[in-house]
Amino acid sequence: MRHLKLTGFIFFLLSLTESLALPTKPQDVDHFNATQKFIDENTAYLAIIAFSQYVQEASFDEVETLVKVMLDYRDRCWAHSTLPECSKIANDAIQDMFCDMEGLLQKYNFSHCCRKAGFPRRLCFFYNKKANVGFLPPFPTLDPEEKCQAYKNNSESFLHLYMYEVARRNPFVFAPVLLTVAAWFEEAATTCCEQQQKATCFQAKAAPITQYLKASSSYQRNVCGALIKFGPKVLNSINVAVFSKKFPKIGFKDLTSLLEDVSSMYEGCCEGDVVQCIRSQSQVMNHICSKQDSISSKIKVCCEKKTLEREACIINANKDDRPEGLSLREAKFTDSENVCQERDSDPDKFFAEFIYEYSRRHPDLSTPELLRITKVYMDFLEDCCSRESPAVCYRHAEDKFNETTQRSLAMVQQECKQFQELGKDTLQRHFLVKFTKAAPQLPMEELVSLSKEMVAALATCCTLSDEFACVDNLADLVLGELCGVNTNRTINPAVDHCCKTDFAFRRHCFEHLKADTTYALPSVSALVPALHADWCQPRKEDLQNKKHRFLVNLVKWMPEITDEERLCLFTKFTAAGEECSEVQEPESCFSPESSKTGNESQATEKQR
């Protein structure tokens, strides 16, 4: 590739002093040199990612200006590495350049961050990232011919603009993912611009890119939300479960060593430190591939790829086969007489090993379910170990685990039954009502997106052999989207409680949420006129959007009516709206003389 050359991966963004030991093994030296070459050729892309994710509102011209400043800084430090300014870590240097740029910190309200220093400032920049990007204009689309002409005229500027637009709309996506997306997009442009059917080619190439970006974004935001809201112990539990299911033959000692690198990676990536993120991820991939014989038999092909391409390959690789002779139970956690003593001697290690043993024996369970079982076990031991005969008590732990799994399984079975019986459109309205009742403070676009994602999860999973794990994993990611990454995300007391109290059981918590009674409802008498005006606007808008907006408003303004009443109002009003959109004077359709919809709405309110 001419511009984004995948000749290696990245240990650091720029040649700045960082806490990185120099390699000594020949293979590590080769990797280090390839990485340095990659940095030399692609620093601009990495700087665009950093600036666009931190300051999403900044224009492309402003980001390009900041990138030029960064490149000048890099060159200056290469020439004079002993300058005091060259001892900064890269993330601090990036933020310094933004804060020193005349007018930008005031224009984008970063003055309070720039007054801070070190970790508090980095955290401030991170908390300014906005997951809901509705404030940005729609993603710019070009006719395929125009796209190819722009690529031909100035491919570097064209690809920089693409990276800028993607990065600022995905502020929590890790830099290695965005670099992969950029590489795939460049390959698509190179290929499709030579084709006769350019539009068809771009559509085919865009689908897997979009899917990879969306899936990566959802998972990374969910895990970062867990780290930031619940701390490193929950993050470690997630990683133990994920890696133990994926690589069931890895030894616990080797897993512990690997997870030290994985935890370091998430700490840097989730904080928004591009340098630490890409450096640590490189280390994780190297760690896995250097010990693949003892980790997995399924990743040999992945480890032969260039480092930047390894991650997606390893993630998508099949789970390794369960080791022969591995029983479904590990007796040491339920049958040993010394369980309480072992727990007390090193609780973190004890429960990490429990998750490891249970996960590798039960690859059919979802990650959230494995965390629920671990939480149940922790609470159960707390009770058992306080009794006179602890062993008699905790020998029944498996019964508790099965009860927990049955509860979760019943939820998934009910959801898949609804999917089969209701169909996608009706089921989306069901989830739209459910999310709006629980979180009426959210904008319509976000509520619609959440309901679509739930339906997509069921559509993906409900016919698979691993239906339970698939649904539970994806549904938990949807709730991760709702709860958000930052601790300063707040919706209402009930939703906040589910998001922040117990990561493992938040899905169960959301399942029992009622309509939010703290939401300040507008007067119901204003409902019909407002909806009339919405439907009668001569705007070019998808009819489905109007139906969704009507349903959201109906739930917000009349949350306590029955499902039957809501369906009746929805059916009658949308039918009237469709008719009225075709007439010359649509407002007349909604008058009391020509429509019963308004009277029916008022009658329903009186009955309440």
Please report, for the chain, the start and end positions of each structural domain, with discontinuous segments joined by +: 29-195, 231-363, 364-516, 524-589
pLDDT of 604 over the 70 cut: no
Residue 492 has phi, psi (to 5 degrees) of -160, 165
pLDDT of 601 over the 60 cut: no
When pLDDT is cut at 50, 70 and 90, the band that residue 328 belongs to is confident
> What was the pLDDT predicted at 339?
95
Residue ranges in 232-346 assigned as alpha helix (H): 232-246, 252-271, 274-290, 292-295, 300-303, 307-316, 339-345
Token digits of residue 171: 């502020």
Greatest C-alpha distance within the chain? 86
Give the E-state strand segments of 110-242 in sequence order. Answer: none
C-alpha distances in Å from residue 527, one per residue of 71, 458, 516, 541, 563: 56, 33, 19, 21, 18
User: Please, are residues 46 and 71 in contact by the beta-carbon 8 Å criterion?
Assistant: no
Q: How far is CA 286 from the centre of its chain?
A: 24
Measured in residues, the chain has a length of 608
Binding residues for Zn(2+): 273
Cβ atoms within 10 Å of 328's Cβ, excluding its own: 9
Token digits of residue 283: 């280390």
Token digits of residue 563: 């499902």
When pLDDT is cut at 50, 70 and 90, the band that residue 215 belongs to is very high
Residue-wise pLDDT tens digits, 522-550: 665 655 565 665 666 655 557 778 888 88
Q: What span, in angstroms and rounded, lies between the C-alpha atoms of 7 and 576?
A: 60
Helical packing angle, 274-290 and 90-100, nearest 10°: 160
pLDDT of 41 over the 60 cut: yes
Q: What span, in angstroms and rounded, lies between the C-alpha atoms of 266 and 220?
A: 9
Q: How far is CA 440 from the centre of its chain?
A: 22
pLDDT of 587 over the 60 cut: no
Token digits of residue 208: 């897997």
Q: What span, in angstroms and rounded, lies between the C-alpha atoms of 230 and 226?
A: 5
Q: What span, in angstroms and rounded, lies between the C-alpha atoms of 202 and 192?
A: 6
**What sign does the CA torsion over 479, 485, 489, 494 have?**
positive
Q: Which residue has the higher pLDDT, 464 or 527?
A: 464
> What was the pLDDT predicted at 232?
94
83: left (phi over 0), alpha (psi -120 to 50) or beta: beta
Same fold, 29-195 and 231-363: yes
Find the Cα–Cα–Cα–Cα dihedral 503, 509, 515, 519, rounded to 10°. -30
Residue 24 has phi, psi (to 5 degrees) of -120, -30
Cβ atoms within 10 Å of 163's Cβ, excluding its own: 24
Token digits of residue 261: 């690198």
User: Please, are residues 23 and 32 in contact by the beta-carbon 8 Å criterion?
Assistant: yes
Q: Is 124 exposed, middle or buried (0-12, 13-18, 19+ CB in 10 A)?
A: middle
Reference 181, options 197, 200, 205, 158; nearest CA is: 205
The CATH class that applies to domain 29-195 reads mainly alpha
> What was the pLDDT predicted at 279?
78
Residue ranges in 80-197 assigned as alpha helix (H): 90-100, 104-107, 111-114, 118-127, 144-153, 155-169, 175-192
Residue-wise pLDDT tens digits, 84-114: 888 888 888 889 999 998 889 889 999 999 9
Q: Is 82 exposed, middle or buried (0-12, 13-18, 19+ CB in 10 A)?
A: exposed
Binding residues: 273
Q: Which CATH architecture has domain 231-363?
A: Orthogonal Bundle (1.10)
Q: How far is CA 475 from the centre of its chain?
A: 12
**What sign does the CA torsion over 112, 117, 120, 125 have?**
positive
> What was the pLDDT predicted at 539?
54
> What was the pLDDT predicted at 42?
72
364-516 to CATH, choices 2.10.109.10, 3.40.50.1980, 3.30.9.10, 1.10.246.10 = 1.10.246.10
Q: What span, in angstroms and rounded, lies between the C-alpha atoms of 549 and 533?
A: 12
> What was the pLDDT predicted at 507?
95
> What average pLDDT does the chain have?
85
H or E segment at 357? helix 347-361
Q: What span, in angstroms and rounded, lies between the C-alpha atoms of 371 and 355?
A: 8
Q: Which of 43-47, 381-385, 428-432 has the lowest mean pLDDT?
A: 43-47
Name the DSSP letter for residue 558: S
User: Please, are residues 114 and 103 in contact by the beta-carbon 8 Å criterion?
Assistant: no
Q: What span, in angstroms and rounded, lies between the C-alpha atoms of 35 and 133?
A: 33
> What was the pLDDT predicted at 491?
92
Q: What span, in angstroms and rounded, lies between the C-alpha atoms of 304 and 457?
A: 32
pLDDT of 598 over the 70 cut: no
> What was the pLDDT predicted at 602?
42
Kindly provide the b/e burial profile for residues 482-512, where b requires at least 16 CB atoms within 10 angstroms of the residue's own CB: bbbbbeebebbebbeebbbebbbbbbbbbbe
pLDDT of 13 over the 80 cut: no
Q: What span, in angstroms and rounded, lies between the C-alpha atoms of 191 and 185?
A: 10
**What sign does the CA torsion over 289, 291, 293, 298 have?**
negative
pLDDT of 14 over the 50 cut: no
Find the angle CA(101)-CA(102)-CA(108) to the nearest 5 degrees: 80
Cβ atoms within 10 Å of 37's Cβ, excluding its own: 13
3-state secondary structure of 135: coil
Amino acid at 508: H
When pLDDT is cut at 50, 70 and 90, the band that residue 436 belongs to is very high
User: Please, are residues 190 and 5 in contact by the beta-carbon 8 Å criterion?
Assistant: no
Q: What span, in angstroms and rounded, lies between the C-alpha atoms of 255 and 320?
A: 15
Kindly provide the b/e burial profile for residues 447-456, where b requires at least 16 CB atoms within 10 angstroms of the residue's own CB: bbbbbbbbbe
Q: Which residue has the higher pLDDT, 502 or 528?
A: 502
**What sign does the CA torsion over 549, 551, 555, 558 have?**
positive
Residue-wise pLDDT tens digits, 284-305: 888 898 898 899 989 999 999 8
Residue-wise pLDDT tens digits, 555-586: 888 888 888 888 888 888 777 766 665 555 54
**What's the distance, Cα to Cα, between the start and end of the chain in Å?**
66
Integer-rounded Cα Rg, in Å, for the chain is: 27
